[in-house]
Amino acid sequence: MKKLVVIGAGMASGRLLDHLTQEQASFEVTLFNAEPRGTYNRIMLSSVLAGEKNLDEIMTHPASWYETRGIICRFGEKVIGIDPKGKTVFGEKGPVRYDKLVIATGSSSFIIPMEGSWLDGVIGYRDVEDTLRMIESAGNSVRDVVVIGGGVLGLEAAAGLQARGAHVTVLHNTSYLMNRQLDEVAAGFLRAEIEARGIRVICGAKTQGILGDDGKVTAVEVEGIPPIKADLVVMAAGIKPNVDLAKAAGLDIGRAIKVSASLQTSDPDIYALGECIEFQGLTFGLVAPIFDQAKVLSERLLGRHANFEIKETSTKLKVTGCDLFSAGDFDDEKGTETLVYTDPLNAQYRKVVLKENRVHGVVLYGDTRDGNWFFDLIRSKTDIPSIRETLLFGRAYHDLVLASVDPHHTEQLRAIS
Ligand SMILES: Cc1cc2nc3c(=O)[nH]c(=O)nc-3n(C[C@H](O)[C@H](O)[C@H](O)COP(=O)(O)OP(=O)(O)OC[C@H]3O[C@@H](n4cnc5c(N)ncnc54)[C@H](O)[C@@H]3O)c2cc1C
């Protein structure tokens, strides 16, 4: 059997090995993971932080899962080098030869290089260890937390820590929260909900540095306001693809490891997938495209044809009580038409952007039940003139109207219900 070595047991390689192990074994697989465990659903760390799940519940592929499928696990062992000429990977405890290599090293939290960012008490939000540190801190010594970054990760960290009793301040450098995933109106509703929980939000914040005493963080300096007291600072200001190994091995690197549509790197025997790759100038920070990559790569490794394609993605926030959804391109630009519904009293907002008779983008706040319906309309590029009048009110309303004019449709609906 050929030897396949996989570096990283994260969500990307977990899905890849799901696919590969469903087929007749064609490889002897060795799986390295720097973390001392198998694969878990990283997305659900926010539910662990919020106290809604425990770590066992989010393990998708523990060591036993891999071992029963004949995969050699080298967990808690970092790969420290790759020799592409000798087709060898060097783990901390020794080398392994490969016929094919997969790099799935993911990303690390981007720690903003500012004064004091090295202090004890400044952490990222990426893995189990970060999450446990936050849980332990919030339950013990930590009363004041500053979260730098008001995107999805920062807000999930803030909500979880606040629920555990910490006083939390979120610093966000642009004028409204989640500015990449929401428009200003939806972000306004979100901010009101977050503040109603007792979390302080400062938008347009220019963070200048982190102050400390005796090596430990004490406060965060923000331009124009007094220092904000902090026992813990969580940096949620972006991610940095883990490319050092690939770079040292001489692979082509841009913002991340460059791959083709077959997920092949500049070395024909080395593939890469997940947050550590760059494809057509883009990097990836959501699991939907990464799971597509896993399917494509398994096909390729099995000798079949498949190519990775970029598709639309959607966003949700995993904070109970903050229901929002966005997908596609929802900026008002030339050639677009915008349908909007706002109910400030009930914190409901819907914005649907149309372009060339198709749904181009959507933002929902409050009631997000139609999110996937709109997302399907975007992805399928459905012509909408016939449903335009009812479109904004979502699928259920659309079905009701159809039912009132088309008895056949009423029967269909009855059959479904
Ligand atoms: C708190 C949180 C919430 C998130 N929420 C969402 C969400 O709601 N929706 C969504 O789509 N995405 C979400 N994401 C992003 C999603 O989790 C990532 O896109 C996905 O996990 C990336 O998978 P990956 O396998 O590329 O990297 P990872 O899952 O990070 O796995 C990489 C693995 O490689 C290991 N590794 C790195 N270097 C080495 C080395 N040299 N040797 C051995 N092992 C190594 C690492 O230890 C790690 O275990 C969230 C992420 C976080 C942190």
Indicate the CATH number of 323-416 among 3.30.390.30, 3.30.2130.10, 3.40.640.10, 1.10.10.10: 3.30.390.30
Cα–ligand 1 centroid distance for 411 (angstroms): 46
3-state secondary structure of 322: coil
3-state secondary structure of 201: strand
Cα–ligand 1 centroid distance for 240 (angstroms): 11
pLDDT at 346 over 80: yes
Burial class (CB in 10 A: 0-12, 13-18, 19+), 405: exposed
pTM for the complete prediction? Answer: 0.93
Residue among 55, 75, 180, 275 whose CB has most ligand 1 atoms within 8 A, to mutate: 275
pLDDT of residue 114: 95
pLDDT of residue 390: 87
Minimum-distance ligand 1 atom for the alpha carbon of 284: 19
Are 302 and 294 within 8 A, CB to CB? no
**What percent of the chain shows pLDDT beyond 70?**
96
Cα–ligand 1 centroid distance for 340 (angstroms): 36
Task: State pLDDT tens for residues 26-66.
Answer: 899 999 999 999 999 999 999 999 999 999 999 999 999 99
Residue 417's pLDDT band (cuts 50, 70, 90): very low
Can you point out the beta strands (E) in 246-323? 257-258, 270-272, 277-278, 314-316
pLDDT of residue 63: 97
pLDDT of residue 405: 65
pLDDT of residue 321: 86
Are 101 and 88 within 8 A, CB to CB? no
pLDDT at 171 over 90: yes
Task: State pLDDT tens for residues 380-409.
Answer: 999 988 888 889 998 877 777 766 766 565
pLDDT of residue 81: 98
Q: Which fold has domain 122-237?
A: FAD/NAD(P)-binding domain (3.50.50)
pLDDT of residue 333: 85
pLDDT of residue 138: 82
When pLDDT is averaged across residues 115-120 and rounded to a whole number, the result is 96
pLDDT of residue 410: 55
Task: State pLDDT tens for residues 370-383.
Answer: 999 999 999 999 99
Supply 6's token pair.
């996989």
Cα–ligand 1 centroid distance for 407 (angstroms): 50
**What is the sign of the dihedral through the CA atoms of 259, 260, 263 and 267?**
negative
Bridge partner residues of 222 (DSSP):
207
Minimum-distance ligand 1 atom for the alpha carbon of 273: 26
Specify the residue with its C-alpha closest to ligand 1, atom 31.
10
Q: Which fold has domain 2-108+240-301?
A: FAD/NAD(P)-binding domain (3.50.50)
- CA separation for the pair 417, 406 (Å, rounded): 17
Specify the residue with its C-alpha closest to ligand 1, atom 51.
43
Cα 134 to its chain centre, rounded Å, is 19
Cα–ligand 1 centroid distance for 121 (angstroms): 22
Bridge partner residues of 144 (DSSP):
167
When pLDDT is averaged across residues 337-363 and rounded to a whole number, the result is 95
Domain with CATH 3.30.390.30 in the chain: 323-416
Bridge partner residues of 145 (DSSP):
168, 232
Q: Where does ligand 1 bind, in terms of residues with CB under 6 Å? A: 7-13, 32-35, 42-43, 45-46, 78-79, 104-107, 125-126, 153, 242, 245, 274-275, 285-288, 290, 318
86-90's contacts with Cβ under 8 Å and 24+ in sequence apart are 87/269, 89/5, 89/7, 89/32
251-254's contacts with Cβ under 8 Å and 24+ in sequence apart are 251/84, 253/278, 254/278, 254/281
**What is the sign of the dihedral through the CA atoms of 7, 13, 14 and 17?**
negative
Minimum-distance ligand 1 atom for the alpha carbon of 275: 26
Domain with CATH 3.50.50.60 in the chain: 2-108+240-301, 122-237
